[in-house]
A and B are shown apart, each in its own frame.
Chain A
Amino acid sequence: MSYVYTVARLRGMENHLLDGAFFSRLMDSASIDDAVKALGETSYSQWISQSSGVNFDKAIDAEILATCEELKSFVPDKELLDIFRLPYDFHNVKVLLKGLFKVRGGDTEGRRYDLISKLGTIDTEELTNSIETEEYGFLPYGLTDLIPACWTLWDQTKNAQAVELLIDHAMFKAMLNVAENLKMPDIIQWVKFKIDAENLRAAIRLARMKYDPAKSLPFFHEGGTIRPDDMAKLLNEPQETWSRILSYTDIGSVLGALSEQSDMKAALSDVSKALDDYLLKVLEKAKYSMDSPANVLLFLLTKEAEARNMRVALVCVAGGLDREFGRRLLSNGR
């Protein structure tokens, strides 16, 4: 299959994506039953009926998984899908390892198989067996070496956060490797911007916790367009100046919300949303190309944003939460 076919088919599939007006209507639903009724007109309805009408998380995951499987059947470079799915593999590794850490600590109920996502590229059963039986030989993306390193770190420090960071570092390294092997400049650039975005999120969280800047370097990932050293230096400066300090980078403009917001909770959510939107925006120039492979990743990210919006809207409706705050969390998907 050629990318001309792929992009044309994606254009057709884009017509089925849910837009902002739909989510606004969904948010206005008086009850969860009304929201389910509204979802009846969408592609999510098939999964909601299959999951007994209440397990929205599973329904949303099933919809994204079905989208990935459909794309797999006609996208020429399957590795493009791997870039999107790879974070779910590393999420599963985190869940499984943390469960085993708890089990070894004496908590026999520590395993949380319910948190494992089926969206990864590695079959969840195979991954679970592999980690439980400590046979990592077949695992891709450097997991063969990473998991033993996680165990060593855990044995030495008993620090789950340090293990998570180690896994995240490896994840971004693996994403960059896959992107570089694809030799697609737009995709490589996107992965680098994603690393920047993740580092910025970490910086905002650390600043909020008033974390010691001198000890912050391990929290930042290598491979982005902004060096981890420079990210760590940001913590020495007032947050309202970060936007100006990073003005030489493309991602610096996203921090505008931080300098305008005095409410830290709102600023964090606004910047987080702005970073998600930014990662979509950097791929949007692919929309003007009839055969750019970046359109595949753009579609998947738009679908993921749709799923995120769906979660926000349904949680707001089900929990009777503040709709205005919920609306602010909605990403600009389609």
Chain B
Amino acid sequence: MLGLSLALFGAALAAALAGIGSAIGIGVAGGAAAGVMTEDPNKFGSCLILQALPGTQGIYGLLIAFFVLNKLGLLGGAGAVDLTWNQGLQILASCLPIAVVGWYSAIWQGKTSAASIQMISKKPEAMGKAIILPAMVETYAVLALLTSILMLMGVQVG
């Protein structure tokens, strides 16, 4: 049972930490968006896109959590597979890249998005560049997601 507990703990970490990071990031960007829209409500569309960018880490975390639950046989009602504590620990370790990187990168992406929102307030024509800057931070969340997926695929269970 310890193996299953460790694996579930990993899934929880992936969903929770990445989700917390996204919530903070979206909150920071939302503050900037509200400030800009107070002066110019027409910028809602641009602000919304930039505000949504830090939300992806939360989705990546959820994706990994589903991946783990599926691997454990907890989805579909087939019943949980037997895991040794070593296998559980391997799954927990596989969840850490997206949990940690997702949490931290979402916060920084939120800050970059906020700066980009301030940028389009003065230069609306630079929307393309404004999206690229926070998207650069996204790269590392995607790399962490890939790492977590590859690690999970390598863990043999059942």
Contact = CB atoms under 8 A, between A and B. Distances in A.
A9 B36 contact: yes
A290 B121 CA distance: 12
A290 B111 CA distance: 8
A13 B39 contact: yes
A14 B38 CA distance: 13
Contacts of A9: 35-36, 38-39
Given A12-B40, A290-B114, A290-B115, A5 B31 contact: yes
A4 B121 contact: no
Contacts of B95: none
Given A15-B39, A290-B111, A290-B114, A8 B34 contact: yes
Interface hub of B28, B35, B39, B114 (most chain A Cβ within 10 A): B35
A11 interface: yes
B146 to A, nearest CB: 30
A246 B109 CA distance: 44
A11 B36 contact: yes
A302 B132 CA distance: 31
Contacts of B117: 8
Contacts, number: 54
A74 B32 CA distance: 13
Contacts of A283: none
Give the contact-size bracket for chain B. 10 to 19
A7 interface: yes
Nearest to A290: B115
A12 B33 CA distance: 10
B113 to A, nearest CB: 10
B46 interface: no
A7 B35 contact: yes
Interface string A282-293: 000000001100
A2 interface: yes
Given A8-B118, A12-B121, A15-B121, A290 B32 contact: yes
B136 to A, nearest CB: 16
Contacts of A6: 35
Nearest to A8: B35
A53 to B, nearest CB: 28
Contacts of B38: 9, 12
Interface string B121-133: 1100000000000
Contacts of A12: 35-36, 38-40, 121
A11 B118 contact: yes
A8 B111 CA distance: 12
A7 B118 contact: yes
Interface in A56-89: 74
Interface in B93-141: 111, 114-115, 117-118, 121-122
14 contacts: A2-B31, A4-B31, A7-B35, A8-B34, A8-B36, A8-B114, A8-B121, A9-B35, A9-B39, A10-B35, A11-B35, A11-B36, A15-B39, A291-B114
Interface of B: 28, 31-36, 38-40, 111, 114-115, 117-118, 121-122
Interface of A: 2, 4-16, 74, 290-291
Given A12-B36, A12-B38, A74-B35, 17 more contacts: A4-B28, A5-B31, A5-B35, A7-B32, A7-B118, A8-B31, A8-B35, A8-B114, A8-B117, A11-B36, A11-B121, A12-B35, A12-B39, A12-B40, A12-B121, A15-B122, A290-B118
